[in-house]
Chain A
Amino acid sequence: EDQVTQSPEALRLQEGESSSLNCSYTVSGLRGLFWYRQDPGKGPEFLFTLYSAGEEKEKERLKATLTKKESFLHITAPKPEDSATYLCAVQAWGGATNKLIFGTGTLLAVQP
């Protein structure tokens, strides 16, 4: 069964303290891996899509990487406005190919 596990569940950082969030996945055939950011009371906001192992994408202080078993979201010198829940999701080949399977997220708090 396709599955996504995110760790840690929660992470507290000081402003400027870089760290990484992990997304481990088990999928029959990976069509795409997606990262989203969700602020309280709002819908998930798209960040990145990764399609193949070795691929990397960057946006401001965020960088997403992908291997055959996991993805990392690296946060460099975070600011308080980076505080949010970060969600990882996978899309698999076969069956309903546009179905996203989400992890339970990492709640990030960045303190000034």
Chain B
Amino acid sequence: DTAVSQTPKYLVTQMGNDKSIKCEQNLGHDTMYWYKQDSKKFLKIMFSYNNKELIINETVPNRFSPKSPDKAHLNLHINSLELGDSAVYFCASSQEAVNEQFFGPGTRLTVL
């Protein structure tokens, strides 16, 4: 059974386009996250939602907009894609703040 799933797995697009990545968790967790992993494998948090409420919003361009329709889903919409947005984006979830976070398989975004 898939715990945290993301779609699509790969996303190749042109500069200036708008794209979305979807995330779903079936663990019953109340907190979900978006992370960005750059080419040097450095993993950095972007956003966190707790029960559909935004609780972490790191220094991320406002072209990135997360949306949580319910506590099992957290989507990431990116407007006007730039070359520097190319990275692997991971969704994660946890039950309450202090517990371990479980990660999805990642979405590799390539902007040409």
Contacts and interface: CB of A to CB of B under 8 A. Distances in A.
Contacts of A34: 100-101
B90 A104 contact: no
A42 B105 contact: yes
A87 B94 CA distance: 18
Contacts of B104: 43
Nearest to A104: B42
Given A46-B102, A98-B56, A99-B48, A105 B41 contact: yes
A74 to B, nearest CB: 20
A91 B92 CA distance: 15
Interface of A: 31-32, 34, 36, 38, 41-46, 49, 85, 87, 89, 91, 96-102, 104-105
B2 to A, nearest CB: 11
Contacts of B55: 96, 98
A102 B43 contact: yes
Contact of B56 (A41, A43, A45, A96): A96
A96 B48 contact: yes
Given A91-B98, A101-B45, A104-B41, 17 more contacts: A34-B100, A43-B104, A43-B105, A44-B43, A44-B90, A44-B103, A46-B102, A91-B97, A98-B31, A98-B33, A98-B55, A98-B96, A98-B97, A99-B45, A99-B48, A100-B101, A102-B42
B81 interface: no
B44 interface: yes
Interface of B: 4, 31, 33, 40-45, 48, 50, 55-56, 90, 92, 94, 96-106
Q: Which of B4, B31, B41, B106: most chain A Cβ within 10 A?
A: B41
Contacts of B56: 96, 98-99
Given A96-B48, A98-B56, A104-B40, A43 B101 contact: no
Nearest to B41: A105
A89 B35 CA distance: 13
